[in-house]
Copies of this chain bind each other. A is one copy, B any other.
Amino acid sequence: MAARAGGHSQAAMNGMKEKVLTLDTMNPCVRRVEYAVRGPIVLRALELEQDLRQGVKKPFTEIIHANLGDAQAMGQKTITFFRQVLALCVHPDLLNSPHFPEDTKRRAERILQACGGHSLGAYTFSAGIRLFREDVAQYIEQRDGGIPSDPNNIFLSTGASDAIMTVLKLLVAGEGRSRTGVLIPIPQYPLYSAVLAEFNAVQVDYYLDEDRAWALDIAELQRALHEARGHCTPRALCIINPGNPTGQVQTRECIEAVIRFAFEERLFLLADEVYQDNVYADGSRFHSFKKVLMEMGPPYSTQQELASFHSISKGYMGECGFRGGYVEVVNMDPKVQQQMQKLMSVRLCPPVPGQAVLSMVVSPPAPSDPSFEQFQAERQAVLAELAAKAKLTEQVFNEAPGIRCNPVQGAMYSFPRVQLPARAVQRAQELGLAPDMFFCLRLLEETGICVVPGSGFGQREGTYHFRMTILPPMEKLRPLLEKLSQFHAKFTRDFS
């Protein structure tokens, strides 16, 4: 209040009215939002980049944005089939060109037929174009060994984030002790903490077990739930599998246990499965929550509520800029499903080019199609390189004293733990910074490498981490990992 009154008199002295919208008067929930992946460290990286462009001397020549899972920004090639079909869709005059394989034309015509006015420029049904929702349902059936999927339960979205927000928004209700609590893993992808703050829901943390390669532990879920019940009403449980930022891939047994837990404790399940195509480690395999749930049979298969999310931004295509994704809901109350439909309709529809890409991702060229061979080769090349980079990352980090990195079984990130010397921790505290933020800022200033401090994802008290994507091209990744390890060694010397 002192600050506000001060601001007011200051404004008055200048003959200015105080603004209507200030930090004091704005939405307090929005003020509480934090989103580390694009937080202060990224803004600083942008400033440094501008400095470099203007010729300011730095101890490095470029900024390496290893903070975000943005494959194409890191130089990953696009999948030719997807882009050929898109070009035909946005500019159908090209359908007469001899330079496009016959199946790309067939595909483009199929997409345009499904669009209003045969154009990507028309609005679609709010849940997305019906044909594409059918494509998604078919993809899910195939993925899950024939377990049926109903297109009416598929809602296309503006990237997975948008769909996650929509489902969480439905779940938020109550005041005081009846306020909705949502269990999220720690470390988490900070979309979850940001959205829960924005929606004024209670974030309930359950810690993943770093000593078991970030596995999920049911006893820890129990602990988190029971402690939360004193001050809120936990109603949902979020799972990220494969894990972001952990890279962990859950076993089938673990998923079964989670489903049993959610059922017993009456929690709505949200399964963030956007990295389902990104599984690298020997012995790891992606199991969808939907499949496991259905195979467990009644009462789970008939009663447990589940929303599963997928995206075109990850996998082998990395089409982040198109903002496409979907959610499949299972066992959702049909009346709530109508409400969800209504809520989405206020936003009119997801971007149609993203819908079109999604339709291709879930239904790529078949072996008999002219584009099949090239598609398959491009897809395999990306996934094989990602697997090699996952391995290399783990290996180089674990060779460095003071850095310990769990295997990157899947997804697109390593989340190594770093030892920070006591004097560095103290110095950070003097500066009002989280110790790993201090480390990452120094790393950025001295090497141009931009990674995100573990404090942005959450971690056990007294441990320090950072998240780094494995996406840089192979020839850049090894020097990058070594530079980072060397910086850590120097940092440790400087502060000991």
Residues of A within 8 A of B (CB): 15-17, 19-23, 25-28, 30-31, 33-35, 38, 46, 68, 70-76, 78, 83-84, 86-87, 90-91, 94, 97, 99, 115-117, 119-126, 158-159, 161-162, 169-173, 191, 194-195, 198, 235-236, 266-268, 299, 302-303, 305, 317-323, 331-333, 335-336, 339, 342-343, 345-354
- 8 Å CB contact of A86 from B26, B68, B90, B322: B90
Are B23's CB and A339's CB within 8 A? yes
Are A320's CB and B339's CB within 8 A? no
Bound form: Cα–Cα A265–B23 in Å: 20
Q: How far is the CB of A9 from chain B (nearest CB, A)?
A: 16
Residue ID in chain B nearest A43 by CB atoms: B341
Are A21's CB and B121's CB within 8 A? no
Known contacts A19-B305, A90-B87; decide if A121 and B332 are in contact (CB<8 Å): no
Write out the residue numbers on chain B whose beta carbons fall within 8 Å of the beta carbon of A169: 27, 30, 198
Are A162's CB and B194's CB within 8 A? no
Are B23's CB and A336's CB within 8 A? yes
Bound form: Cα–Cα A335–B68 in Å: 25
Bound form: Cα–Cα A158–B346 in Å: 13
Known contacts A25-B173, A335-B22, A349-B321; decide if A117 and B72 are in contact (CB<8 Å): yes
Known contacts A38-B126, A333-B21; decide if A161 and B121 are in contact (CB<8 Å): no
Known contacts A27-B169, A75-B117, A351-B354; decide if A266 and B17 are in contact (CB<8 Å): yes
Q: How far is the CB of A493 from chain B (nearest CB, A)?
A: 35
Residue among A68, A119, A121, A318 with most chain B CB within 10 A = A121
10 contacts between A and B (CB under 8 A): A16-B302, A20-B266, A22-B336, A27-B170, A74-B117, A87-B91, A158-B158, A158-B351, A159-B348, A323-B351
Write out the residue numbers on chain B whose beta carbons fall within 8 Å of the beta carbon of A15: 299
Q: How far is the CB of A66 from chain B (nearest CB, A)?
A: 13
Are B173's CB and A16's CB within 8 A? no
Residue among A99, A195, A339, A351 with most chain B CB within 10 A = A351
Q: How far is the CB of A161 from chain B (nearest CB, A)?
A: 6
Q: Report the 9 A-B pairs with minimum CB-CB distance, sorted nearest first.
A: A73-B116, A321-B352, A87-B91, A73-B122, A38-B345, A351-B351, A72-B121, A72-B117, A323-B351
Are B22's CB and A333's CB within 8 A? yes
Bound form: Cα–Cα A343–B83 in Å: 31
Write out the residue numbers on chain B whose beta carbons fall within 8 Å of the beta carbon of A235: 20-21, 25
- With A20-B235, A21-B332, A38-B126 given, can you name 5 additional A-B contacts, CB distance below 8 Å? A31-B339, A38-B345, A83-B90, A87-B90, A322-B352
Residue ID in chain B nearest A167 by CB atoms: B21
Are B78's CB and A342's CB within 8 A? no
Bound form: Cα–Cα A356–B23 in Å: 33
Write out the residue numbers on chain B whose beta carbons fall within 8 Å of the beta carbon of A333: 19, 21-23
Q: How far is the CB of A340 from chain B (nearest CB, A)?
A: 8
Write out the residue numbers on chain B whose beta carbons fall within 8 Å of the beta carbon of A339: 23, 26, 30-31
